Each structure stands twice: as structure tokens, then as C-alpha cells.
Amino acid sequence: MNKVNIIIAFLFCMLHSIAFSQDAVDPKAMTLLNKSTTSFNNSNKSSKIDFSCVVENTQSNKKQNLKGYLLLKGEKFKLSVAGVDTYFDGKTEYVYMPESAEVTVSEPGKEEVNKLNPILIITSYKSGYKMLYIGETTDNGNAVEIAELYPEDRKSPYARISISVDKSSMKPHAIKLQGKNGVNTTITVDKYSDMTIDDRQFAFDLTRKDIEIIDLR
């Protein structure tokens, strides 16, 4: 899974309910994440999320800092990060790379849609995690509560997933993925903005003459 797909998948995991294996659930952790889910879902149906992402390779001591934003409306989204704009209008996916002036157009199959659709992404997390409530701390001056998830599948690329929730708003604040390969990814929400978003924001304008279109449909 490439960097952009990781960000897509785990931003959605932050922003929607996550269900877990019932035989290894810490009730305080479950309560925390349920409250966070309710808080986010009670906001407007469309929103913009500005975020920061830090990708750190502990083996090579290299770190990459990224900024991006996500426009979200139901299953539709636009993600802009790492020099790539990804659109999904509910049927068609557009991946636009301004640097090379090209856009790749595809209609994801069922399995691919499962990775794009926030609701279906969550379904894939219904089992296979142990959950633990860690406690309260502060992150850049924000009071947060933390829950940690431990994959039961030994083939999982992650040793641990840490989710922090803002105590004031009860919205997701950050998620940290500790990779077994020594690569850790931390995604922090900088700002939530509830707004009305036109559906045209979720599709790329294929009438543009200044780009190459790679149509895989």
C-alpha cells in the first residue's frame, strides 16, 4: 500500500466508528472511541479536514513531514497530499499528478471500493484487534485521551495503532501507526471545518486540454 493510500485508509478509520474483537475489548477504550465517533457523525454531512502527516523511518533515521486536506461527503472525497490529488465521486476514481500533468481514471471494483468507502473500510476492522485504554495526556497543548489497538493477525504490517481523542470536542485528534518494518506514520488533524461542498469537487475535470488522461475504465 503506497503512502497516499495509507493516509486515505487511516484518515477514514479515524473519522468513523471502529469495531473490535469483543473478547479483547477494554470498556474504557470502547467508550472513548464510541463518543468520538458520535461527536464526528453529529457534525455536518460534508466537511474539510486539514491534517499533518509525519512519516518516520527509525532504521534510517529519516523523517518526512507532509501537509494535506480531505474533503468528505458521504462516500465521496477529495484528498490532496504529497503532490497528488485523489478524487472519488462514488463511482469513479481520479488520481491527478500536477507535476507530470496527468490524471489516471478508473472505476474501482468491489474489493477496491471496500478500501475507498469509509463505511466498508470500517467493516474490515470488525474483528482482529485487542484494545487498551492508555489514559490522558497533552499533545501540543491539547488535552487528549488515548486508546491503543493491537492486531491479532501476525501478518499485519502494524505492531500497534494509537488513537488519540480531543477531550474538549471528543473528535479524533491523531492516529499513530507503528510499523513492524520500522516505519511509523502519525496523522494529526489540524482543523475540522463543516461546510457545504458541491459534488463537482469530487470529480476531476476531464475536459482540460493541458493534461494527459490515462483512462483505465
List domains and CATH numbers for the chain.
3-215 (2.50.20.10)
The one-digit pLDDT tens for each residue of the chain (217 residues) are 444 555 555 555 554 445 555 556 788 888 887 787 777 666 557 889 899 989 999 999 999 999 999 888 877 888 898 899 999 998 999 999 999 999 999 998 766 765 554 444 443 444 577 888 999 999 888 899 998 888 888 888 889 888 889 999 888 888 888 989 999 989 898 998 989 999 999 999 999 999 999 999 8
pTM for this predicted structure: 0.79
Cα end-to-end distance, the chain, whole Å? 21
Cα distance between residue 36 and residue 150, in whole Å:
19
